[in-house]
Amino acid sequence: MSQKKKVLITFLGNLNYDTRCKNLYDTLEANNYEVEFIGFDWLTKEFSESRGNISIFKLNKGFLSISFYLKFIWNLKVKLITTKASIIFAEDIYTLPFAIIFGKLKRAKVFYDSRELFSYLAGLKDKKFKQLFWKWTEKLFIKKADYVIATGQMDSEFLKQEYALDNIILLRNLPRYYKPDVNVNLRSQLGISEEKKILLYQGMLLKGRGIENIFSILKEIPECAFAIAGGGELESYYKKLTEQMNLSDQVFFLGKFTQEDLPKVTSSADIGVALIENLSKSYYYALPNKLFEYIMAEVPVIVSNLPQMKEVVEKYDIGFAIDIENKEDLIFAIKKLTEDINLRSSKKHNCLIASQELNWEKEVNGLLKTLN
């Protein structure tokens, strides 16, 4: 019997709250690889570290964050030095340099998952030094990866041109094909009437995700509630904003969910929103996993009319792609999907059909072929 190949996945994040890492880990295990994961968490309240095949270390972000980075670098280096993995995944720009350096020393095959255009992140727009640093870092190390994974066709084309790459694998942020037997009843849980329609945002609470765009029109659609499933650095900001705008009867913060529990929540919504703002090249190319998770849950969507999201929505006819700066467009799309029962039913059915194509099981085959 041949020995199992060993794989190490490295990520500045928590496996339990990241669909892409969780799907990758589970898929590799199911395909007879011996898989290890090292990650880090500084956002989950009352989080306890875990060690073993899945190691997740707790980090604390202070004023200067020196201890944050020192602990991250130290634990990552120790894992990379001691691992016997012949395949290493760097799941973000932050782990890439270490995966390349130690991977090459160990003659391991290194995969870099360019899940965003990291040198063009919206969060770095006003931080030119940091932006230049990460752009330089990516340029220096990306060509040394054996394979680069892109999350969208436009991302793939950009990386190919920007860095003269010919080793790109397309792996979109698609969820597993999963239809939960039991769903969470959000209306009952939140104490809202059956007549109210639920708009759902799920994902990290970060700048440029269109949450304030929804806040700005909620008073004009009192028949709707806005549920937020996720956490992040701006969670306290949005909670304060909810109070300041007197929206506590319409906005509900659900907290973070594991990847097993999230689909049970998603399917209880009437509309899923992915209103990414065009703040950077990375956001312009956005094709977020939340869009595909809404589709899997058979929830019609309203998204920004950014090219890759718009293409999916129009191809499968599952909702509306709108100009999110136009409040009237946003209100119109919401009212159409909440008031026109036949339209909403049609979009839901189209989501069901699309989910049979847009799932991780079909998408991951291209990656698996490169591991052999």
Q: Return the pLDDT at 44.
A: 86
Name the pLDDT band for 160 (thresholds 50, 70, 90): very high
pLDDT tens-digit map of 65-80:
888 999 999 999 999 9
Q: Return the pLDDT at 126.
A: 62
Name the pLDDT band for 1 (thresholds 50, 70, 90): very low
Amino acid (1-letter code) at residue 366: G
**CATH class given for the domain over 6-176+360-371:** alpha beta
When pLDDT is averaged across residues 246-264 and rounded to a whole number, the result is 91
When pLDDT is averaged across residues 50-56 and rounded to a whole number, the result is 94
Query: How many percent of the chain have pLDDT more than 70?
Result: 96
- Give the Cα separation of 119 and 262 in Å (integer): 30
Q: Is the pLDDT of residue 261 over 90?
A: no
Q: Using alpha carbons, select from 211, 172, 231, 274 the residue that is nearest to residue 14.
A: 231
Q: Is the pLDDT of residue 49 over 80?
A: yes
The mean pLDDT of the chain is 92
Q: Is the pLDDT of residue 2 over 70?
A: no
Homologous superfamily of domain range 186-355: Glycogen Phosphorylase B; (3.40.50.2000)
Buried b / exposed e over 194-207, threshold 16 CB at 10 Å, is eebbbbbbbbbbeb
Q: Return the pLDDT at 282.
A: 82
Residue range(s) in the chain whose domain bears CATH number 3.40.50.2000: 6-176+360-371, 186-355
Q: Which two tokens stand for residue 70?
A: 């020192």
